[in-house]
Amino acid sequence: MMQHGDRIASGVCQAPGSGEAPAPDSFIPQNIRGKLTRNASLAKLVWFKSGGAADWLFEPADREDLIAFLEQVQPGTPVMALGLGSNLIIRDGGVPGVVIRLGKAFAELHENTESVLHCGGGASGILVSSKARDAGIAGLEFLRGIPGTVGGFVRMNGGAYGREVADILVDCDVILPGGDFVTLPAGDLQYSYRHSALPEGAVVVSARFQGQPGDPAVIGAEMDKIAQAREESQPLRTKTGGSTFKNPPGEKAWALIDAAGCRGLTLGGAQVSEKHTNFLINTGDATSSDIEELGEEVRRRVAESQGVTLEWEIKRVGRP
């Protein structure tokens, strides 16, 4: 529950990655059942284990609780959803406005008719693919290779091993800033590579994925292959954020980074992975500034030596 004396931020509209937080006022949300924390540390909630605090962190009890909360948030307050904290740099100055973190109440999964799987926005890719396997639904195996939650990879059109969310999404349920609840068909998201037209501040609370009938044993074997491939090629047991840069058309980001001589490159406590050069690592005491600046140095070297400008895949949010 919200603690006595807490206040919610309000003010002009700003993206989570820019500007200062709106000044707090005397508004206190009423009748919320989730947990609201002021100046909440986010470093422990993200894979890099670095970065500043959220002005406010709200962990709703359920969908209705989230709607009730967002209905009361002052228009213009930045709102950002947080899943498992992969694919994300929280800058050292923290995140203005409100961060929404979906817990177990948003991780429910159940099979609909005709090989459609209904997934809560907080369910992980591993959980979704395992449920699909047990239900004999093929076509969702690649989600085993995405380190994140349904909400995150619906927003970013997450993909791995030749497949992406655009291939399987039927529709998704979204709560907009202000509390409006809408269901958006996949076509409305205008998917492209690691991008969607989902409105800023919208929170994906559930989605439906279309598969096809399959043999659980065959599905499980494919998932095992994906898990083994990730283990062998990626620095999974480090403080990292997943793939750092998008693959340029016809190219592999890791190969360009390697060709630019960046394998093992360090800046402060941040390092380009020796195992997979499209991964950045917090070796122990890196700040988010170290990690982001190292990424920018990699981009500079690749552009200079390879003639290709890499685009960030990892989302960077908050104040420097």
* Rounded Cα–Cα distance for residues 52 and 55 (Å): 10
User: Would the CA dihedral through 53, 55, 61, 63 be positive or negative?
Assistant: negative
* Rounded Cα–Cα distance for residues 230 and 236 (Å): 8
8 near 74, Cβ under 8 Å?
yes
CA torsion 83-86-87-90 (nearest 10°) is: 80
In the block, which residue shows the tokens 């947990």? 35
Q: Where in the sequence numbering do the catalytic residues fall?
A: 194, 243, 313
Q: Give alpha helix (H) positions in the chain.
A: 63-72, 125-134, 150-155, 216-233, 253-259, 288-306
